[in-house]
Amino acid sequence: MSWEDSDRRSRLPKDWPILVARCKKAAGGRCQWRLKSGKRCPREGADCDHKIPGDNHDPSNLQWLCARHHAIKSSIEGRQAKRAKKALRRRPPEPMPGRVR
């Protein structure tokens, strides 16, 4: 689902632009993604992201990410959601007919 097709924007709080500005300032404008080395990404941030997906807009749940790392994180979350949805469609195995437990 694209941002244009989403209802996400309507669920953002009225002070969202202020929260975004605070998130960017707290990050010093730099991406907060941690590289495998443990260091922060050196790129300039571009997007305010929810660490834990959903509607918790508390500043402790927000992070400032560059476009590349925001896309990576969103892709991972999308795959996880798709896997979870697919798992719900799977029927549990039925017991063998005539088997006594």
Burial of 46: CB neighbours in 10 Å, binned 0-12, 13-18, 19+ = middle
Assess whether pLDDT exceeds 60 at residue 2: no
Assess whether pLDDT exceeds 60 at residue 5: yes
pLDDT in tens, 59-90: 999 999 999 999 999 999 999 999 988 888 87
**Contact partners, residue 49, CB within 8 Å, separation at least 6:** 62, 63, 64, 65, 70, 73
- Regarding predicted confidence, which is higher, 94 or 31? 31
pLDDT in tens, 22-51: 999 999 999 999 999 999 999 999 999 999
Q: Could you give the 3-state DSSP secondary structure of residue 90?
A: coil
Cβ contact 64:45 at 8 Å: yes
- Residue 96: what pLDDT? 77
